[in-house]
Amino acid sequence: MDGNSVEKPLLLPPTVEPSYVKRKTSLFTSLAKFILKVLMWVVFILWVGIAFLLPGKFSTHTITVLFNATGGTVFGFTGSFFLLFTGPVLLISILAFAYIIISGEEDFSKKKRSGHPSFRLWTFPVIVDGPFGVVSAAELVGILLFGVYVIWAVYSYSLKAISLIPDQLSFKVQSSLFLESMGLHLGSVGIFCLAFLFLPVSRGSVLLRLIDIPFEHATRYHVWLGHLTMVLFTIHGLLYVIAWTIEGRLIDQLLEWKSIGIANLPGVISLVAGLLMWVTSLPPVRKLNFELFFYTHQLYVVFVIFLALHVGDFVFFISAGGIYLFMLDRFLRFCQSRKIVEIISAKCLPCGTVELVISKPANLRYNALSFVFLQLRELSWLQWHPFSVSSSPMDGKYHMAVLIKVLGEWTAKLRGNILNDSASDAVPEEELPLKPNTKLTASVEGPYGHECPYHLMYENLVLVAGGIGISPFLAILTDILHRIREGKPCLPRNVMIIWAVKNSTEIPLLSTVDMESICPSFSDKVKVETHIYVTRESEPPLEEGNVQSSVTTSAFPVSKGHAMSGLVGTGHKVWSGLYLVSSTIGLIILMYLLQVFYISPYGISTWWYKGLLIMACMALSVLIFGGSVIGLWHLWETRILEKEGYHDGVIKFDEEQHNGNTILKESSIESPRKSTLLKYGTRPDFEEIFAYISKCWGHVDAGVIVCGPPTLQASVAKEIRSHNIFKREKDHPIFHFNSHSFDL
């Protein structure tokens, strides 16, 4: 790249085909997947089509027929709303599980380039600056569709509201009626947006698995939808407040709780809860006090329950599908996190990073881009924190590792719990003694992440990290090396790591991966080049070859520990599918029993009460029917462990792997490898870097994965967009942008 490089590695030419890539898909499997995919698209298009039809006049007859579809059955008008709005979401979810089960292990060979690199909507950054952050072409299409729907609905409802107001009324009365009509219709638009709001935050959601979007990336969609939904609901409430003020009956209307029709007071309570969540989630408040944001967001329970009381049973079904999937995910997370997991190893590094090794069952699978939520009982019983997994799933069957940068109060407590705090002020960090008899117990949720490890689908990879963002790339690197050694599907042949750090004390993190030990002669099949940029130091603090002397030893090495539970939505596909199917069937059964034995015989017609009953049915179906499957799932998991020779949840620790190379070990750190370029006092020049890659790699698809702060993501995305559109020549690569950063 320039004269400062120690050595320019020879990159494999694009014509070399990895011999270890080989998988085939049967004709029956392909046909079944195609049919399921078509069915899901048809159901989705019909579901969205109904929402687009509702505001228009021309659809009045069609909508009326659909709304009366179950009018002659025991379910009545409520059943029609369930079929039209909640049913499609649940049906798509069930079909999605069938699709995922049939798909089995991903065929990486079919994902490789067909000889002609091409642009992809999901990986082409279109917007890199602005309130949305980095937005891909596919995401922009979604934003535009939502925008078109909202504009269309507001326009149509405005015309409808104006046409229904009699001309002979006074201007004051006309204004009041128009405001109330628009408030009602904006509320209905908000209800439809609410149907999507809970889908991205269902961490183990099958829908996220289907489209292969991990929860950490989907949270941004929840943020966008949250802003849109709350804007609509806030205007909805304000229009009513203004109308009631004009009429001189504001207080009476705010406190009104109707039996038939919309109950106002529950709506006020729901809106207040939503506003509290919304205001405390704004970036300035969230950054200033994250705990305030986190605890206030638990008001979603109040928000949803009082929304059901506000609108009644049938209107609530417009958004109930996404809420129900969230309830399923939340209950499964609760069951998984009840198990106490022992931290089987903890280490503190001189760079201010802590490594925790967690015991897990062999049948709990994850990939190198997964992450987990941790709650450490010794630090807090309430706080949960997400961390990227730093170990490869092939490092060992019975453990996974995470790297934690000491940045805030919680992480500082973690470091202090491991080290002897009494000596921390007087002794350099790398010489701190370990606290004797230290024990950490944790609750774990996850792992979550991409359904398919997309880092294995690019023959050419660029990994861009900022600080502790190197953690998932350590897992990627070791995963690639393990797969090459064992001959498993894996496409990468050229890997370039670009790492920006503040201080040179962080450099040893990368050196802990001994590539030769994992895969001898790996350089014959994959070339790895590393560029490290130390931004806050103008020159090396020590002589080359002695960047850092050692890694602090293990705090409490043990040979066994209680493993984390495998009850997770991204876990066993069949059990997860049975959990969804049984809960859905249970919901329908409970609704039927409720209608036959209570609502119809006793003539229950109160809207808010029926809304409460529907919420009760949803909760009981998850608890009773879903809980039964979870119990069987747990028994099955226990038997599997017993067959492997482990009892009472105690799992043996992969001692050999732990003492090996991919988990941080007690050894001296080597100097940067010959294939490493090390620069001080400068930041990565991505224009220069991508120009260099373009010349070396030629006309190929190149996957770029970024893990770091938003500014780093924006810089990389901006250069990728500029290169792909303006600077790219016909023999240059097409760069595909992917981000791996968790930012709630």
Residue of 451, 449, 454, 423 lying closest to 436 (CA atoms):
423
Which pLDDT score, from 0 to 100, does residue 660 have?
A: 39
Minimum mean pLDDT range among 238-252, 310-324, 659-673, 725-739: 659-673
430-467 CB burial, b ≥16 within 10 A, e <16: eebebbeeeebebbbbbbbbbbbbbbbbbbbbbbbbbb
Which pLDDT score, from 0 to 100, does residue 672 have?
A: 47
CA–CA distance, 90 with 67 (Å, rounded to integer): 19
Which range, 535-544, 605-614, 644-653, is most confident? 605-614
At CA 153, angle to CA 149 and CA 155, rounded to 5?
Answer: 120
Tokens of 292: 């305030």
Give the chain's largest Cα–Cα span. Answer: 90
Which has more confidence, 546 or 394?
A: 394
Residue of 443, 441, 442 lying closest to 337 (CA atoms):
443
Phi then psi for residue 448, to 5 deg, are -120, 165
CATH code, residues 340-422+439-539:
2.40.30.10
Annotated domain spans of the chain: 340-422+439-539
Which range, 226-230, 426-430, 635-639, is most confident? 226-230
Tokens of 57: 């006049």
Confidence of residue 597 (pLDDT cuts 50, 70, 90): very high
Phi then psi for residue 455, to 5 deg, are -65, -15
Residue of 317, 402, 348 lying closest to 613 (CA atoms):
317
Minimum mean pLDDT range among 162-166, 362-366, 617-621, 653-657: 653-657
**Run of H or E including 590:** helix 573-594
Tokens of 453: 């490890």
Which has more confidence, 384 or 627?
A: 627
> Residues near 411 by Cβ (< 8 Å), separated by ≥ 6?
354, 404, 405
Which pLDDT score, from 0 to 100, does residue 543 have?
A: 52
Which has more confidence, 206 or 431?
A: 206
Confidence of residue 517 (pLDDT cuts 50, 70, 90): confident
Point out which residues pair with 501 in neighbouring strands.
Answer: 534
Which pLDDT score, from 0 to 100, does residue 549 have?
A: 42
Which stretches does DSSP call E strand in 295-363? Answer: 341-349, 353-359
DSSP 437: T
Q: What is the average per-residue pLDDT within 324-330?
A: 95
Minimum mean pLDDT range among 111-115, 230-234, 355-359, 507-511: 111-115
Confidence of residue 732 (pLDDT cuts 50, 70, 90): confident
Which has more confidence, 737 or 649?
A: 737
CA–CA distance, 498 with 495 (Å, rounded to integer): 10
Minimum mean pLDDT range among 7-16, 376-385, 522-531, 672-681: 7-16
Above 80 in pLDDT, residue 511? no
CB 259 within 8 A of CB 312: no
**Run of H or E including 291:** helix 290-296
Above 80 in pLDDT, residue 644? no
Which pLDDT score, from 0 to 100, does residue 323 have?
A: 96
Q: What is the average per-residue pLDDT within 623-641?
A: 91
**CA-to-CA separations, 378 to 388, 414, 439, 650, in angstroms, rounded:** 21, 9, 9, 21
> pTM here?
0.86
CB 54 within 8 A of CB 63: yes
State pLDDT tens for residues 670-702.
Answer: 444 447 788 888 899 998 898 889 888 888 888
Q: How many other C-beta atoms can be found within 10 angstroms of the C-beta atom of residue 102?
A: 15
